[in-house]
């Protein structure tokens, strides 16, 4: 039973995990411009400013804009959260009367994505709680360049409260195992990366031109993700 909770990849059916990963990738793609650029944009731009990536030609600037240590830190943080959520959910479904937990979690994630599709209900970063505890520590990581600091910054940012993250975690929790939950969250992180790389590379141009267009495209993507997640929930139920 423990092995299944850690490694199973077929709890949602033969095509369930790929569908979930695809939905979370699209959710990250939509959220990257409509949500993550606003929340994480200052940290991305600060790294560009302190990292000296404006010099050295186009190749050096592109390499700097990738911010690989930062995104690796985010990936590790989100994958860990997904693994914990997927593992605990898998254990819970083994208990009597809790077999519908994955279906309920997928339904909750689908409804949360519908909420993200409505601009007035889009999640914003809470100013209190855990965010207040971690925020002062982020400033020290932005004081100068460095691979280690960028990695730690990405890792710590994965712990900040975020409504879109909670929706993705609810979906990842329904994946059926720790490994599947980690893979689902890695797909989500991969979806958020293009907008943050574009923001680092293009800076103000992205904020003025590309971001408004992507914001208008985000609600249909959120709506499609909601349909996929709700369909998976119904199939499990």
pLDDT (tens digit per residue) in 160-195: 777 788 889 999 998 889 999 999 999 999 999 988
Q: How confident is the model at residue 145 (pLDDT cuts 50, 70, 90)?
A: low
Compute the distance between CA of residue 120 and CA of residue 31 in angstroms, rounded to an integer: 15
pTM score of the predicted model:
0.76
Cβ count near 128 (within 10 Å): 8
Average pLDDT score, the chain:
76
Listed range (38-47, 57-66, 190-199) with the worst mean pLDDT: 57-66
The answer to whether the beta carbons of residues 111 and 227 sit under 8 Å apart is: no
In this predicted structure, the answer to whether residue 208 has a pLDDT above a threshold of 50 is yes
> Is the alpha carbon torsion for 89, 90, 96, 99 positive or negative?
positive
pLDDT (tens digit per residue) in 2-11: 666 777 788 7
In this predicted structure, the answer to whether residue 206 has a pLDDT above a threshold of 70 is no
Sequence length of the chain is 237
| Averaged pLDDT, 220-226 | 79
Question: Scanning the structure block, which residue is given the tokens 């995104």?
Answer: 71
Domain ranges of the chain: 14-236
């Amino acid at each position: 039973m423990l092995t299944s909770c850690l490694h199973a990849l077929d709890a949602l059916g033969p095509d369930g995990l790929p569908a979930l990963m695809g939905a979370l990738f699209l959710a990250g793609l939509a959220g990257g411009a409509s949500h993550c650029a606003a929340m994480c944009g200052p940290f991305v731009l600060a790294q560009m400013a302190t990292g000296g990536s404006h010099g050295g030609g186009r190749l050096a600037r592109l390499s700097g804009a990738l911010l690989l240590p930062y995104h690796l830190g985010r990936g590790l943080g989100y994958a860990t959260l997904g693994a914990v959520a997927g593992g605990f959910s898998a254990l819970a479904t083994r208990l009597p009367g809790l077999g519908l937990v994955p279906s309920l979690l997928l339904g909750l994630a689908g409804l949360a994505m519908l909420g993200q599709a409505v601009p007035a209900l889009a999640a914003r970063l809470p100013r209190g709680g855990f965010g207040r505890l971690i925020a002062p520590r982020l400033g020290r990581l932005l004081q100068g360049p460095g691979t280690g600091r960028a990695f730690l910054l990405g890792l710590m940012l994965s712990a900040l409260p975020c409504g879109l993250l909670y929706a993705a975690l609810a979906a990842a929790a329904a994946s059926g195992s720790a490994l599947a939950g980690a893979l689902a969250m890695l797909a989500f992180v991969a979806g958020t990366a293009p907008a943050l790389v574009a923001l680092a590379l293009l800076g103000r141009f992205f904020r003025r031109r590309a971001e408004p267009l992507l914001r208008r495209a985000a609600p249909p993507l959120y709506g499609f993700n909601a349909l996929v997640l709700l369909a998976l929930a119904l199939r499990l139920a």
